[in-house]
Amino acid sequence: MTAQTIPARRKPECKLAFHVERRPHFLIVAIQGQTSFDLAEALSALLLRILLKLEAHFSLVVLDLAELPSISSLSMLVLVEFRMDLGRRGVEVRLANVQTPVWLALGSAGFCKLFEPMELEQPTRPSAVSEA
């Protein structure tokens, strides 16, 4: 009798990049890349890492999604959980530069009402990028 082996699940190549910019009254986190179902855990870990490294306390965090062409359902839940965690600490989370497919996906899941949009003068470009 031979034992059946189950192949180890490979970690997906992460195609996410982040750029954090401190403004006088709020923090901008620009997210660039693809947020597939497999990368939702990486998205969650990177958002948590960014928050843990903050020295200053902000009352507003803006997620700049200009370079995020699509979003998976699990990644949407990561953003909602991020918003709820910060909300418990008195920090508001808004979205900026959301592409139409992402906004439609958030809307179809009923999450648009959780995120107030915010206009930024220009999209935040990930010049100093940290990749997962």
Q: Tell me which residue of 83, 85, 71 sits closest to 39, measured CA to CA.
A: 71
Residue 132: inside a domain: no
Residue 44: inside a domain: yes
Domain that holds residue 76: 16-119
Q: How many domains does the chain have?
A: 1
Contact at 8 Å (CB) between 83 and 60? no
Least confident range from 10-19, 97-106, 109-118: namely 10-19
| pTM score, whole prediction | 0.78
Q: Region 3-12: what's the mean pLDDT? A: 56
Residue-averaged pLDDT of the chain? 81
Residue 46: inside a domain: yes
Tokens of 71: 């979003």
Check pLDDT > 70 for residue 122.
Answer: no
pLDDT class for 34, splitting at 50, 70, 90? Answer: confident
